[in-house]
Amino acid sequence: MRVNPDSAPSTPSAPGSGSSSSSSSGRSLTTDARRAQIVAAAIETVAELGFARASFAQIAKRAKLSSVRLISYHFQDKEDLFQALVDTVQEAARAAMQPRIHAHSAPAAQLAAYIEANLEFLADHPVEVRALVDVLAGARREDGSPLVSSAGFDTPVALLVQHLRNGQLSGDFRPFDAEAMATAIRASIDAAANRLSAGDDFDARAYGRELVTLFALATRNEEAK
């Protein structure tokens, strides 16, 4: 199971929000607001009860809806709702992290910002992280296949690989296996998400600072001027 609530250093900035009276999908702002209310309730419900116990009834109760049917009006089924949950958390992570990452131009500084921004998002959003991890781990159909789509979850890893390779070409990073390094960086970040979701007494920011030092030492080119 992979958790990628992040933006890789080489990803483009997220598009800004428009001022239109309707969403890009054609939904009204009122409909979007109701959908966001239901997704927020789903996040809180999964974080507290776990995915297995996060029924529409529990989510409707937390969202203070008059009827469970209001969820079905806005979402086709459980898959649709929990896909929206995953997308919402990941988009919030990207929006929070991309400005931090793109404030730098040097490869090493971007990598440090990438790691720090990931860990600070995890520290600041424990409820969302707990819900995301539980849905990705536990949301399964009867045949055992994932309920939510994992399409694109490895994209940040691919972009991170490209960032590391670009840093090698510029001479900022030493020669190393970029795929192995990117996998190690992602695995270290994912480990923090899993610990936080399990409720461990864990200082994610301190951990992030150590990761920055660790991977700065692992990637820097000692021969660069």
Domains, the chain, with CATH or none: 29-219 (1.10.357.10)
pLDDT band (50, 70, 90) for residue 217: very high
List residues bridging with 22 in a β-sheet: 28
pLDDT, tens digit (0-9, with 9 covering 90-100), for 80-120: 999 999 999 989 999 999 999 999 999 999 999 999 999 99
pLDDT band (50, 70, 90) for residue 156: confident
pLDDT band (50, 70, 90) for residue 3: very low
225/222 Cα distance (integer angstroms): 8
DSSP summary character for residue 176: -
pLDDT band (50, 70, 90) for residue 139: confident
Residues with Cβ < 8 Å from 129, sequence gap 6 or more?
Answer: 5, 89, 122, 193, 196, 197
Please report the pLDDT score of residue 56 as a whole number: 95
Q: How far does CA 39 lie from the centroid of its chain?
A: 15
Mean pLDDT over 37-47 rounds to 97
The strand ranges marked E within the chain are none
pLDDT > 90 fraction of the chain, expressed in percent and rounded: 69
Check residue 161 and give left, alpha or beta (phi > 0: left; psi -120 to 50: alpha). alpha
Please report the pLDDT score of residue 13 as a whole number: 32
pLDDT, tens digit (0-9, with 9 covering 90-100), for 56-76: 999 999 999 999 999 999 999
Please report the pLDDT score of residue 4 as a whole number: 53
Please provide residue 173's backbone torsions phi and psi, each rounded to the nearest 5 degrees. Answer: -110, 150
Per-residue three-class SS string for 19-51:
CCCECCCCCEHHHHHHHHHHHHHHHHHHHHHCH
Per the structure block, which two tokens stand in for 83?
């896909």
Predicted model pTM? 0.81
